[in-house]
Amino acid sequence: MQHKTAYVGLDQIKPAARPELAPLLQQIAEHKGCGTSGASGKASCGSSDGPQDMDPAVWEKVKNHPCYSEEAHHHYARMHVAVAPACNIQCNYCNRKYDCANESRPGVVSEKLTPEQAAKKVLAVASAIPQMTVLGIAGPGDPLANPAKTFKTFELIAQAAPDIKLCLSTNGLSLPDHIESIARYNVDHVTITINMVDPEVGQHIYPWIYFRNKRYTGIAAARILHERQMQGLEMLSERKILCKVNSVMIPGINDRHLVEVNRAVKARGAFLHNIMPLISAPEHGTVFGLQGQRGPSAQELKALQDACEGEMNMMRHCRQCRADAVGLLGEDRSAEFSTEKIESMAVTYDARARQDYQQAVELERQATVAAKKAEQEQLATLAQAQGIRMLVAVATKGQGKINEHFGHATEFQIYELDAGGSKFVGHRRVDLYCQGGWGEEDTLETVIRAINDCHAVFVAKIGACPRADLAKAGIDPVERYAHQFIEQSALAYFREYVAKVAAGEIVHAVKGDAQLRQGAYIAAA
Ligand code: CLF
Ligand code: SF4
């Protein structure tokens, strides 16, 4: 299969032989005080996206982690290795035949790996994708229900590629038993999926757990799980191991309750909270799917995330990725690294080349931040912007740029614009509109429904037909910022829009809701 979203930018350049990068690397050498080597440990040059309020030690951990830093996710990649097949609980949104729905979308059965196969795969991917900075174990079951395989994998990778950050995601039931190992293997980032802090709520999400050789059901199961999750989170915080909490938003079951969850995890030291929409369709074969339990709409999800934001940092760029995902969040290059292909690859791990490459990425990242800042300063002087707020959708292949054609996009990134500036607030998965030379009308309708709450869609290119249909739906197709930085362009567009409203040329109208896609989360081939 040919992957549609291959880059033409930095990530196409082979680190070992890149004379064309020489001027860029020279710039980096002269660029003092930021990047990864600044004396303060900060990498933002004082940008508003930087770590001004962050402990330098924490910033060091998050700056290149695509899940822990929204800004980093445009530039750095992660990979998962599917070494953990078993699970110790049952979630009503999970079908064990598929990947763990904690961190991975029910879609396609993962190719399960041994720790040795996983370690070889990590080295192969790290050589081919030098901006891959994080290795996560997130299923397809629960990593801590498979501790021997999980920690053996971490051990092998720490020896062979010590520059790669280690990350794991767990339901938390076994977490308190493994804190020592997590610390020993230098696992800097742990995600716990916490959907409730009240067993009354939990009993509707978890039919059973298996704990200390015994099966528990109902409220008793939910109570044990809750206590173990809280204990594990507190133990991680004491150890200063960064902890993110994932919560699945299930309308009518825990949607209102998640505000309480947010407070509870914040109080116990969680660094980041990621509220994800329930993915539920009958064809997934899950309890919720078969019961017809719906997921939230785009507006419902955003309203909950906004309500929790005052309490702590919210993650909004999660792609609910598979347990064998490879690449930038939002792209899936796992097919390029099947076990069969890896076995036949001669892999050489060049840490120095990776480091050089990442320094070039860092410079590009700084440029996106500086461009946004400059544009934002102009917006600050525009009094008419008060009271106007809009969402815009962006077609991008990464690098913080508008660099994807409308018809080739498998997701749109969503930004909120108002007098305060621009903010990434989510993404929308869509089916490919372009079917090799023609556009699929039915698909276009689903794309429009997915971004129906947006005033504009920014693309590198778009054909006449979709352009007309989008305009009819009240979504302005914008091509003029092709290949420019996303947030700088969106803010420039917003300034023009505000000026037109002020001049009476257009009337600002509030848009409706949008639909979150329930289909399989698989990159188009
Ligand atoms: Fe993987 Fe999770 Fe680590 Fe990221 S994913 S184990 S923290 S490296 Fe990231 Fe994927 Fe969302 Fe997870 S986008 S599902 S939050
Ligand atoms: Fe499925 Fe993950 Fe829940 Fe286990 S923790 S039942 S693998 S979603």
pLDDT along the chain (525 residues), means of 10: 29 40 38 27 32 78 90 90 92 74 44 89 90 91 95 95 95 97 95 98 97 97 98 97 96 96 96 92 87 92 90 86 85 83 82 86 86 82 79 93 93 92 90 69 85 95 90 95 94 92 88 72 32
Within 10 A of 267 (CB to CB), how many other CB atoms are there? 14
Phi, psi of 133 (to 5 degrees): -110, -15
Distance 138 CA to ligand 1 centre (A): 8
Is the C-beta atom of 100 inside 6 A of ligand 2? yes
Task: Tell which one of 80, 88, 89, 229 to mutate to probe ligand 2, the residue whose CB is within 8 A of the most ligand atoms.
Answer: 89
Within 10 A of 105 (CB to CB), how many other CB atoms are there? 23
**pLDDT at res. 13:** 37
**pLDDT at res. 227:** 98
Nearest alpha carbon, ligand 1 atom 11: 318
Q: What share of the chain is helix, strand, coil (3-state, %, to 5)?
A: 40, 15, 45
Nearest alpha carbon, ligand 1 atom 8: 136
Is the C-beta atom of 65 inside 6 A of ligand 1? no
Nearest alpha carbon, ligand 1 atom 12: 103
Sign of CA dihedral 63, 69, 74, 78: positive
Dist CA 115 CA 125 (whole Å):
15
At residue 222, what is the residue type? Answer: A
List residues bridging with 456 in a β-sheet: 392, 476
Q: Where are any strands of DSSP class E within 292-406? A: 314-315, 326-327, 390-394
Separate counts of helices (H) and strands (E) for the chain: 15, 16
Question: 110, 522 in Cβ contact below 8 A?
Answer: no
Task: Give the sheet arrangement for strand 214-217, strand by strand.
Answer: 89-90, 208-211, 214-217
pTM over 0.85: no
Task: Tell which one of 67, 79, 194, 332 to mutate to probe ligand 1, the residue whose CB is within 8 A of the most ligand atoms.
Answer: 67
Q: Which residues contact 91 (CB under 8 A, 6 or more apart)?
A: 101, 102, 171, 195, 205, 206, 248
Distance 217 CA to ligand 1 centre (A): 29
Write the secondary structure of 153-206 as one string of H (helix), E (strand) and C (coil): HHHHHHHHCCCCEEEEEECCCCHHHHHHHHHHCCEEEEEEECCCCCHHHHCCCC
Task: Tell which one of 61, 135, 164, 191 to mutate to probe ligand 1, the residue whose CB is within 8 A of the most ligand atoms.
Answer: 191
**What is the number of the ligand closest to the CA of 169?**
1
Nearest atom within ligand 2 for CA of residue 145: 4
Dist CA 304 CA 450 (whole Å):
19
**pLDDT at res. 472:** 93
Is the C-beta atom of 69 inside 6 A of ligand 1? no
Nearest alpha carbon, ligand 1 atom 1: 136
Task: Tell which one of 80, 83, 87 to mutate to probe ligand 2, the residue whose CB is within 8 A of the most ligand atoms.
Answer: 87
Distance 135 CA to ligand 2 centre (A): 20
Enter the tokens of residue 207: 């039919």
